[in-house]
């Protein structure tokens, strides 16, 4: 899938904000990943030579199903077109160095996205899990988000029109960690799917 835009939310689980030494935000913290960063299941995440510290971030992705502009919470919830596993791959060293996150979050292959599914369950019951080389590293439930999915879509739609096919990455829980050449990183939303990607070091 190639979304028109990818809107991401930072620090949307309190425990992850705390593990990075940040306060829980008072309003959703938005940033973007470029559509050129998207890869599919099984495709390799390429560690760029420019970074010495790249981390995985397992996230629940929401695919927008209908156009939203200044939406109410009810309109926002009704516009959920599907859920997809997302890995918000981040060059943590460059994120700190630059202040702006465009480079750290925007390298080619830094946005693995799984196949979107619309399971017949309430969004609050969805879980997000990551496994690094088969070992569980993250597990959280969507009801623990600081800002829930309808709140996020409504808030974003008050800034920019959300179009069908746009992707919203709703933030990562605690437990992010470093990726190395040869790793296999998996993101799972039980009932939605598993997104597995190998990790390769880019040549200098
Ligand atoms: Mg993230």
The residue ranges of every structural domain in the chain are: 6-201
pTM: 0.96
Tell me, which fold does domain 6-201 have in CATH? Fumarylacetoacetate hydrolase; domain 2 (3.90.850)
Give distance in angstroms: CA of 36 to centre of ligand 1: 17
Q: What is the DSSP letter of 24?
A: P
For residue 89, the 8-state DSSP code is -
Digit-by-digit pLDDT tens for the chain (204 residues) are 688 999 999 999 988 878 888 888 899 999 999 999 999 999 999 999 999 999 999 999 999 999 999 999 999 999 999 999 999 999 999 999 999 999 999 999 999 999 999 988 999 999 999 999 999 999 999 999 999 999 999 999 999 999 999 999 999 999 999 999 999 999 999 999 999 999 999 987
Q: CA 188, CA 60: separation in Å to the nearest integer? A: 9
CA of 86 to the centre of ligand 1 (A): 9
**Residues 3, 37: contact at Cβ < 8 Å?**
no
Query: How many Å lie between the centroid of ligand 1 and the Cα of residue 78?
Result: 24
**Ion ligand 1 — residues with CB < 5 Å:** 57, 88, 172
Three-state secondary-structure class, residue 186: strand
């Amino acid at each position: 899938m190639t979304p028109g835009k990818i809107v991401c939310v930072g620090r949307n689980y309190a425990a992850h904000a705390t593990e990075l030494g940040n306060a829980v935000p008072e309003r959703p913290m938005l940033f973007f990943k470029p559509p050129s960063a998207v890869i599919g299941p099984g495709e390799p995440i390429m560690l760029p030579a420019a970074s010495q510290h790249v981390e995985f971030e397992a996230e629940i992705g929401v695919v927008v199903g209908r156009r939203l502009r200044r939406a109410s919470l009810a309109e926002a919830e009704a516009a959920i077109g599907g859920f997809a596993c997302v890995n918000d791959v981040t060059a943590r060293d460059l994120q700190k160095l630059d202040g702006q996150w465009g480079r750290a979050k925007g390298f080619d292959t830094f946005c693995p996205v799984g196949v979107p599914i619309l399971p017949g369950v309430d969004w609050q019951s969805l879980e997000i899990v990551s496994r690094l080389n088969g070992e569980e590293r993250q597990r959280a439930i969507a009801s623990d988000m600081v800002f829930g999915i309808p709140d996020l879509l409504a808030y974003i739609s008050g800034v920019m029109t959300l179009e069908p096919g746009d992707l919203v990455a709703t933030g990562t829980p605690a437990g992010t960690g470093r990726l190395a050449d040869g790793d296999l990183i998996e993101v799972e939303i039980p009932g939605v799917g598993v997104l597995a990607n190998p990790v390769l070091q880019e040549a200098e």
